[in-house]
Structure 1
Amino acid sequence: MNLMHQIITKARNRRQRIVLSEGTEERTLRAADRAIADKIADIILLGNIAEIKALTIKYGLRNVLQAVIVDPIKNERKNAYAVLLMELRKNRGMTIVEAQKLVENPLYLGCLMIKNGDADGEIAGAQNTTSDVLRPALQIIKTTPGINVVSGAFLMLSQNEEYGANGVLIFADCAVVPNPNAKELAEIAVSTAITAKTLIGIEPIVALLSFSTKGSASHELVDKINEAVCIAKSISPELIIDGELQADAALVPFIGQSKAPGSLVAGKANVLVFPNLECGNIAYKLVQRLGNIQAIGPILQGIAAPVNDLSRGCSVEDIYTMIAICANQAIMK
């Protein structure tokens, strides 16, 4: 049974309530239709009910109307959600009038439904930017206790089982934080290790990557990596983590033994943490295209409940896959 089959099976066995905030978007509706047919989640669509019904006919979808459809404008719980939002943001001076307007925004409504216990996870981003998706999540759901930074991980699935956990690697951060400081980098490492353990069931072996391996170069960028390793160990003392490591030293056993003898990580890493977003984003796309490796994500991590951001260029398959992953995140929460 491959990894995605395992993730889908777990989602099917413990169905979660997943909000699709862009409920009138074609790819989202097609993914919802398939997810409902495959019983991998209980789908909640946000959008105008009449419009969604018309679109199901237009696209020839048979299962979408089994979803719960919530109209953000005419939602019968609109006032209750507005009061909840006002309470959450009153220290920022939010008024009930402002809250009533914001709850008409599907991205805010989806997060409020999670906060109120009416949903287990949310997916958006086919039509909205990452910042638009993250803003309400951070204002309403907030970050995981002990973690102050949200990051994006990619599952990298290869037919070559030589590297990582039988061909499975996790790359981070490839989606959110442009230039993390040492503390943020440490929190990204810890969050990604949690994703590895809870989502795909592997024991995380975490490498913080650099252009240097164990002092082969001296630079302030290398110092940041070493500081991040120390902070990560203080946050999660049981975590198997090491750095600074070059990518080949992290992945290739004989190179790891040569460059970093005695390291518990060198040559064995299955979680790769990049020094900044530029490196992470370039790396996953190069590996995906040149190495013919499947890249699944970004999987947002560090939020207290699952909220996931899609690429605006995503496919129906991408959204379907993310529904299953979001459901698994909710199960583990």
Structure 2
Amino acid sequence: MMKIRKLEHLVDEAKRRGKKWRVAIIKGEDKNTIQAVVKAMDNGFVYPVFIGNLDAITQLLQDFDVKDSINYEIIQCDDAFDTAEIGLNLIKTGQADMIMKGLINTDLFLKAILNKEKGILKPNGVLSYVCALELPSYHKLLFLTDPAVIPFPNLDQKISMANYAIEMAHKLGNKEPKIALIGTSEKVSAHFPNTHDYEKMCALAQSGGFDKCVMDGPLDVFLACDPESVKIKGVNTSIKGDADILLFPTLESCNPFYKGLMLFGGGELAGLIQGTTHPVIVMSRSESLKSKYYCLALACLMAES
């Protein structure tokens, strides 16, 4: 597969594979979610199974001029937690390939995902989040982790975050992604404990402890993403200002960074919960229709073995 450099290419690749992935939409009763799902359905790469209030979902589908019920299913259920359990059962029984959050509280949705008996967390998995951003000012997709799940990741969690981001980059055709471990400068310092984790991660990468990648850090965002800054500062880094992945030390640093890019930088994204047996789509209600649509395409490609 060619390296995917734009989010629209996720859609092109999903359509090219000629398959309809079954997506369970939990409380699929909100306009933005249904609109994105209908767009993916119309483009032929998903078969939606809506779980929630039959009347509300039917009305929204009619609003978007969806008439042929052969292209989707609706499972009636009004209890929020029960809708999540029904969706997870569809995953477990092979009747769905992925699960998507609709009008259900995120904490309730993730509680179901993490349930030891009925959930879909991988054995010894770490729940995390990886997103791919398309930015007008950057020449390729930029992967970020973790803007949504782990507040203060420890070393083991950072290693898992890196692994998930590398896996996503590989699945999108990037055979050797450059992963920058983001800090305030390029120096390991006792003032910033995360930099000691970065030092250990780089040593692990040097010894082949990660799948194929180039890793360096700590680096600031300029050194990670701007070749001119690397020249100006004279820093010897294998990333060379050409990062594919930015790993942030905390959710508090990553989340404002990505939201700033979305609001002020004209960014669009596709992202997924990681650490699960099947793709999990969790999007804020404030995210654009395009981003929700791209998340569906990304989930389809990640669902492929």
TM-score scaled by length of structure 2: 0.84
CA–CA separation in structure 2 for the residues paired with 1:129 and 1:202: 36
Q: Is the 8 A contact 2:181 2:248 kept in 1?
A: yes
The 1:11/1:141 distance shift into structure 2, 3 A limit, reads farther
**Aligned residue for 1:204?**
177
**Aligned residue for 1:143?**
121
Q: Which moves more between the two structures, 217-226 or 204-213?
A: 217-226
**Aligned residue for 1:120?**
97
Structure 1 residue runs of 5 or longer lacking an equivalent are 74-100
Q: Is the 8 A contact 1:122 1:326 kept in 2?
A: no
Structure 1 residue identity aligned to 2:75: V
Match status 1:183 vs 2:156: yes
CA–CA separation in structure 2 for the residues paired with 1:112 and 1:8: 27
Does the residue aligned with 1:105 lie in a helix, a strand or coil?
Answer: helix
Does the residue aligned with 1:155 lie in a helix, a strand or coil?
Answer: strand
- Report how many aligned residue pairs link the two structures: 295
Q: Is the 8 A contact 1:15 1:42 kept in 2?
A: yes
CA–CA separation in structure 2 for the residues paired with 1:279 and 1:120: 32
Does the residue aligned with 1:44 lie in a helix, a strand or coil?
Answer: strand
CA–CA separation in structure 2 for the residues paired with 1:237 and 1:167: 21
Match status 1:267 vs 2:241: yes
CA–CA separation in structure 1 for the residues paired with 2:297 and 2:199: 36
Q: Among 106, 113, 118, which residue is 2:83 paired with?
A: 106
Match status 1:29 vs 2:34: yes
Aligned-residue identity in percent: 23
Does the residue aligned with 2:50 lie in a helix, a strand or coil?
Answer: strand
Q: Among 52, 71, 74, which residue is 1:69 paired with?
A: 74
Does the residue aligned with 1:207 lie in a helix, a strand or coil?
Answer: strand
Alignment RMSD:
2.8
Q: Is the 8 A contact 2:7 2:269 kept in 1?
A: no
CA–CA separation in structure 2 for the residues paired with 1:225 and 1:2: 27
Bigger radius of gyration among the two = 1
- Residue 151 of structure 1: how far off its partner (Å): 1.6
Does the residue aligned with 1:159 lie in a helix, a strand or coil?
Answer: coil
CA–CA separation in structure 1 for the residues paired with 2:225 and 2:61: 47
- Residue 281 of structure 1: how far off its partner (Å): 0.6
Structure 2 residue identity aligned to 1:327: C
CA–CA separation in structure 2 for the residues paired with 1:317 and 1:253: 30
- Residue 5 of structure 1: how far off its partner (Å): 2.8
Q: Among 9, 12, 15, which residue is 2:12 paired with?
A: 9
The 1:290/1:282 distance shift into structure 2, 3 A limit, reads same
The 1:193/1:115 distance shift into structure 2, 3 A limit, reads same
Q: Is the 8 A contact 1:183 1:228 kept in 2?
A: no
